[in-house]
Amino acid sequence: MGADLSRKPPRHVEGEMADDLAEILIPEAELQAKVHELGAAISRDYAGKDLVLISVLRGGFIFLADLCRAVTLPVTVDVMAVSSYGPDARPLGVVKILKDLDESVTGRDLLIVEDVIDTGLTLSYLLRNLEPRVPASLKICVLLDKPARRIVDLPIAYRGFEIPDKFLVGYGLDYRQRYRNLPYIATLTKEALDRLNRQ
């Protein structure tokens, strides 16, 4: 089953992975332009401040890597990992921090760097977790805003793209832990979704 890549042919993507893609929603060039636009805004707003960029694993790592290089300030970078809700997590009861920050953040300017916000539940939890550490400021930067399924509204200081309510992959976004390495944001074919759901 060939892919209908209506916007741009896949670069360095071969075989099964290319066949799995239905459409490129945000091409690589658009992503990079937006990341640089966000980086410039952040550099302007945080000049002279002690900025700590905090990303949430695993989805945010590619956006963080590109964004921090688009920021022209001497930033500190740190990462967190939290458990997600799902069939396996249900017996555990509540979200857990799987990897906490290594940096002390008291009195520093924190910017949470997320690949995507949809329900807002994870970010809401992170804000509640980070606020008691008494940072000088705490704001959110998201590359992709998927408002259709928002449960908790949160103030987003920096927003890349508003996107439709579809399963998206690439640039850190996964489906069943695959496709994070695509350099653009794409949708999967129904055949690929069905196949992956059967595995």
Partner 1 sequence: MQMEGRGDPIERLERSRNEEIRIFLAEAGIDVQVFRRTPEGEWVPGEERLQIPMDLLDRFREILHEAEESSAPGERAPLHRVPFANPSEEEFARILDFYQIEWQYEPKGFPLDWNGNGQVTESFTPDFYLPQFDLYIELTTLKQDLVTKKNRKIRRLRELYPTVNLKIFYGRDYRKLLERFGIVHQ
Q: Give the tokens for residue 109.
A: 């300017």
Q: Binding-site residue total for partner 1 (CB under 8 A)?
A: 33
> For residue 97, what are the CA distances in angstroms to 41, 81, 94, 119, 141?
30, 6, 10, 18, 20
Question: Any contact of residue 95 with partner 1 (CB under 8 A)?
Answer: yes
Question: Any contact of residue 12 with partner 1 (CB under 8 A)?
Answer: no
- Candidate list 73, 121, 157, 196; residue touching partner 1; CB under 8 A: 121
- Residue among 16 and 131 whose Cβ is closer to partner 1: 131
Rounded to whole angstroms, how far apart are CA atoms 25 and 140? 23
Stretch that binds partner 1, among 4-12, 41-49, 57-65, 131-139 (CB under 8 A): 131-139
Which of 20, 66, 109, 118 does the annotation list as catalytic? Answer: 118
Stretch that binds partner 1, among 23-31, 35-43, 61-69, 151-159 (CB under 8 A): 151-159
- Candidate list 152, 162, 194, 195; residue touching partner 1; CB under 8 A: 152
Rounded to whole angstroms, how far apart are CA atoms 41 and 179? 29
Rounded to whole angstroms, how far apart are CA atoms 70 and 43? 8
- Candidate list 48, 93, 198, 199; residue touching partner 1; CB under 8 A: 93
Consecutive H or E run containing 156: none
Core vs surface per residue 54-68: b (16+ CB within 10 A) or e: bbbeebbbbbbebbb
- Residue among 11 and 99 whose Cβ is closer to partner 1: 99
- Candidate list 9, 74, 153, 177; residue touching partner 1; CB under 8 A: 153
Rounded to whole angstroms, how far apart are CA atoms 44 and 70? 12
Question: Any contact of residue 198 with partner 1 (CB under 8 A)?
Answer: no
118 catalytic per annotation: yes
- For residue 119, the minimal CB distance to partner 1 (Å) is 7
Peptide bond into 58 cis (omega under 30): yes
Consecutive H or E run containing 44: helix 28-45
Residues that bind partner 1 (CB under 8 A): 84-87, 89-90, 93-97, 100, 104-106, 118-119, 121-122, 124-125, 128-129, 132-134, 148-153, 165
Active site residues: 118
